Amino acid sequence: MKPVSVEHMSIRFGAVTILPDVSFDVAAGECFGLVGESGSGKSTILRCASMLLSIWTGDVTIGGRSVREMPLNERCRTLQMVFQDPYGSLHPRHSIRTVLSEPLKIQGLDDRERRMREALGDVGLPASFLDRYPHQLSGGQRQRVAIARALILEPEVLLLDEPTSALDVSVQAEILNLLVRLREERGFTYIMVSHDLAVIDHMCDRFAVMQSGEIVEVLPREAIKGNEATHPYARELIGASLEYESVV
Amino acid sequence: MTMLDDTSGQTSAPRQTPQALIAARNIAVFLAKAPPSAFGLIVLAVLILSALFAPLLATHDPYVQDLQNTLQAPSAAHFFGTDELGRDIYSRLLYGSRITLTIIGLVSIVVGPIGLFVGTVAGYFGGKVDIVLMRLTDIFLSFPSLILSLAFVAALGPSLNNAIVAISLTAWPPIARLARAETLTFRQADYIAAARLQGASATRIIWRSIVPMCMPSVLIRLTLNMATVILTAAGLGFLGLGAQPPLPEWGAMIATGRRYMIDSWWLVTFPGLAILSVSLAFNLLGDGLRDALDPKQMNRR
C-alpha cells in the first residue's frame, strides 16, 4: 500500500489551460474519487499522473517517489490504469492471451501461464477465455479483461477512468463490486474518476469536486447523503444528483 | 462473484486452427462469391499456373527463331501466330507471365514494408519525424511515376532488375501516406495508451499494435497498385528501358510488334490482351478485398 500525492499539477495545451494548479493527497489503501462535469479535467489528471501526458508541471509522488524519476519499468509495476471504454481499450486483433502476456514479456516476468490464469481468476473469468478475441466478449467481460491486464503487473496504485460508464447498470454493479473486493484483498490505492455520484458513494472514502480544472472542495463520502458541501458548485452538483436519484 | 454464464457453450472455433488461417479462408470464400473478384481470382490463378507450368504448356521454345515461318497468322501449329523472327507468341506469352509475376512479387515485397515502415513511424511519432518523412514522400509523389521510373532507369541503365528498382522507388509513397493516415486514427486509442503503461517500447507498439491494424488497407492498396505496376513495367518495356530482348516481356513484345501491327494484328493483340486482363484482374481483386476486409464485415468472419 502506497500513498499518492499530487502537488501543483498544471497543464496547458497552447493557449488553453486545462489544469491551472491541482493538489490533493490520497492515503495508502484509500479510494479517492474525482467528480465533475465533462471537460472539468478529471481524466487529464489521471493521464498526467500516469505519464501518458508528459508536458505538465508539478509533481506526483507515489510512496514518496516521484513518478517522473521512477524508471519506466518501476513506474509500470507501481501504477496501472483501467480505461473508460472497454471496446476501445483492448486491441481488436489480439487474443486475451496476447493482451495478458504482453505486459509479462515486456517486464520480463516468468511463469506467465500461471500469472495469466490467476489474473483471469481474480476478475472472475475462466481460464478458457485466454484463447478468445475481444469481439467474442461482452462489454462487462471486456472490462474484466482490462482490469486483469492492469492487475497482472501487481501494481500498488490503480487509476480508474470511469471504469463503468460505458456499461449498462447491472454490469456496472458487478464491476464495482469486483473493484471493491480487489481493494479489500490486495490493498490497492484507487484514484477513480466518475461523473456518477452514486458510483462514488459506493466506492470511495473521499472525493474531490472539480470545476473547470480546479478542485473546489474535497468531501468525505458521508457528505453526499445530507449534501453537506459548502462550496456553491459542489452543493449544486450533489443536489442535482440527489434530486435525479429520488426521481429515478 | 459468480462465473459468467456463457462459458459452457463455447464451441466456436477449434482451438488449434490459427485465427489468421480461418480469416484467410473466409476472405477467399468471400472473394469467390462475387463475380468481379471471382474473375480476378481466376485470372490470377491462370497467371500463376501458366508461370509455374510454362515449360509443360508451351508448344515451342520461346527463344528459338524460325526465319522460314515469320509473321504467321494464328493456326493450329501456332495458337497465337508467330512474330517477326518466327518465334511462337503463345509460348512467349506463357514465359512472359513469369517475368510479370517476378515484377509484381518483387515490387510488392519491397514497397509494402518500406511504405508501412515510413507511414507508421511518421504517424506514431508525429512532430519533426513526421514532417521530414512526409515531405520526403511528397517529393516522390510530386513526379508522375512513369517519368520518375524513366529517370531512374536512365540513370541505372536499362534492364529488368533496374526497372523493378525504379518502379519500387516510385510506388511506396502512396502506401506510406495510407499507413500514416491509418496510424493517426489509432495512435490515440486506449489500447495504445495501455501498451505504453505496460512499458512497451515505441518499436514494440508500432510492430505489435499498429502494423496489424494497418495491414488490411495496405494489402488492398498493394493489390490495386499491382495493376499500375504491371502497366508501368509494360510501359518501360515498350520504351525499351525494361526487360531487354530476347526476354519475352509483354510490353517489349508490343513494342517490337508495333512495326508489323497493320499487317499482323496478332503481334500486339495477344500481349495487349494479357496485360489488360491481368491488370483488370488485380483491380477487381483489390475492390473485392476492400469489401472483404471492411471492418463492418468483421462480424461475418
Q: Tens digit of pLDDT for each residue in B30-73? A: 888 888 889 999 999 999 999 999 888 888 888 888 888 888 88
- Put simply, whether B261 touches A (Cβ < 8 Å) is no
Answer whether B15 touches A (CB < 8 Å): yes
Residue of A nearest to B210 (CA): A91
User: How many angstroms separate the CA atoms of B41 and B281, rounded?
Assistant: 7
C-alpha cell belonging to residue B39: 474473375
Which residues of chain B lie closer than 8 angstroms to A132, CB-CB? 10
Q: Do A181 and B1 touch (CB under 8 A)?
A: yes
Please indicate whether, in this complex, the C-beta atoms of A124 and B191 are within 8 angstroms of each other.
no
Give the gap in angstroms from C-alpha B219 to the nearest C-alpha of chain A.
Answer: 16
Q: Which of A44, A55, A95, A102 to mutate to test the interface with B (most CBs of B within 10 A)?
A: A102
Cβ contact (<8 Å) for A124 and B7?
A: no
Minimum Cα–Cα distance from B10: chain A residue: A128
Chain A residues whose beta carbon lies within 8 Å of the beta carbon of residue B298: 92, 135
The C-alpha atoms of residue B133 and residue A85 are separated, in whole angstroms, by 33
Over residues A28-78, the pLDDT tens digits come to: 989 999 998 888 888 999 999 999 988 899 999 998 899 988 999 999 999
Residue B247 within a domain:
yes
Residue A92 burial by Cβ neighbours in a 10 Å radius (0-12, 13-18, 19+): middle
Residue of B196, B198, B204 with shortest CB distance to A153: B198
Q: Do B10 and A50 touch (CB under 8 A)?
A: no
Under 8 Å CB-to-CB from A92, ≥6 apart: which residues? A133, A134, A135, B213, B298
Round to whole Å and give the CA distance between A188 and A70: 19
| Rounded (10°) CA dihedral A70, A72, A73, A75 | 50
Q: Residue A228 — very low, low, confident or very high, per pLDDT cuts 50/70/90?
A: confident
Least Cα separation, residue B210 to chain A (angstroms): 10
With respect to residue B9, please indicate whether it lies within any of the assigned structural domains: no
Residue-range domains of chain A with CATH: 4-88+155-247 (3.40.50.300)
CATH number at residue B53: 1.10.3720.10
Within a domain: B131: yes
A·B CB contacts under 8 A: 79
Structural domain contains residue B30? no
Average pLDDT value for chain A: 90
Q: Is the pLDDT of residue B297 over 80?
A: no
Q: What is the pLDDT of residues B204-240, one digit of tens each?
A: 999 999 998 998 889 889 988 888 888 888 888 888 8
What does the pLDDT average to over A167-185? 89
Pairwise CA distance, residues B170 & B218, whole Å = 16
> Which B positions 201-220 lie with beta carbon below 8 A of chain A?
204, 208-209, 212-213
- Closest of A208, A189, A192 to residue A30, by C-alpha: A189
The total number of structural domains that make up chain B: 1
Measure CA B267 to chain center. 26
Q: What pTM value is reported for the model? A: 0.82
Q: Is residue B190 part of a domain?
A: yes
Residue B298 pLDDT > 60: no
**Side-chain half-sphere CA neighbours of A148 within 13 A:** 29
Please choose, from the candidates A210, A229, A232, A233, the residue with its C-alpha nearest in 3D space to the C-alpha of residue A220.
A229
CB-CB neighbors (< 8 A) of B199 in chain A: 72-73, 75-76, 103, 106-107
Let me know if residue B265 belongs to a domain. yes
Which residue in the set A76, A88, A149 is minimally distant from B199, CB to CB?
A76
CB contact under 8 A, B199 and A92: no
B20–A contact, CB cutoff 8 A: no
**What is the extent of the structural domain holding B110?**
47-70+80-295
For residue A144, pLDDT beyond 80: yes
**For B299, nearest residue in chain A (alpha carbons):** A135
The alpha carbon of residue A103 is apart from the nearest alpha carbon of chain B, in Å, by 5
pLDDT in tens, B141-162: 888 888 888 888 888 888 888 8
Question: Measured between CB atoms, which of B190, B196, B209 is closest to A88?
Answer: B190
pLDDT band at A7 (very low <50, low <70, confident <90, very high): very high
Task: Determine the residue among B198, B217, B300 to mutate to test chain A binding: the one whose Cβ has the most chain A Cβ atoms within 10 Å.
Answer: B198
Count other Cβ atoms within 10 Å, centred on residue B256. 19
Give chain B positions within 8 Å (CB) of A88. Answer: 189-191
Query: At CB < 8 Å, which residues of chain A contact B?
Result: 47, 50, 52, 72-73, 75-76, 79-81, 83-85, 88-95, 102-103, 106-107, 124-126, 128-129, 131-133, 135-136, 140-141, 146, 149, 153, 174, 177-178, 181
Radius of gyration of chain B (CA): 24
Q: Is the peptide bond before B246 cis (omega within 30 degrees of 0)?
A: yes
Between CA A218 and CA A216 the distance in angstroms is 7
Neighbours of B188 (CB within 10 A): 9
Average pLDDT estimate for B13-22: 63
Inter-chain CB proximity B191 and A89 less than 8 Å: yes
Give the residue among A144, A150, A158 at the shortest CA–CA distance from A191: A158
Using pLDDT thresholds of 50, 70 and 90, give the confidence band for residue B197. very high
Q: How far apart are CA A137 and CA A96, in angstroms?
A: 10
Q: Is residue B20 part of a domain?
A: no
Task: State whether residue B3 sits within 8 Å of chain A by CB.
Answer: yes
Looking at chain B, the whole-number percentage of residues with pLDDT higher than 70 is 91
Separation CA A54–CA A149 (nearest Å): 23
Spell out which residues of chain A touch residue B205, defining contact as CB-CB under 8 Å. none
Residue of A93, A125, A170, A180 to mutate for B, most B C-beta atoms under 10 A: A93
In this structure, the strands spanning A206-211 and A31-36 are parallel
Question: A36-50, A213-227, B17-31, B174-188 — which is least confidently predicted?
Answer: B17-31
Q: What percent of chain B has pLDDT over 90?
A: 40
- Say what the pLDDT of residue B295 is: 54
Decide if B21 is inside a domain: no
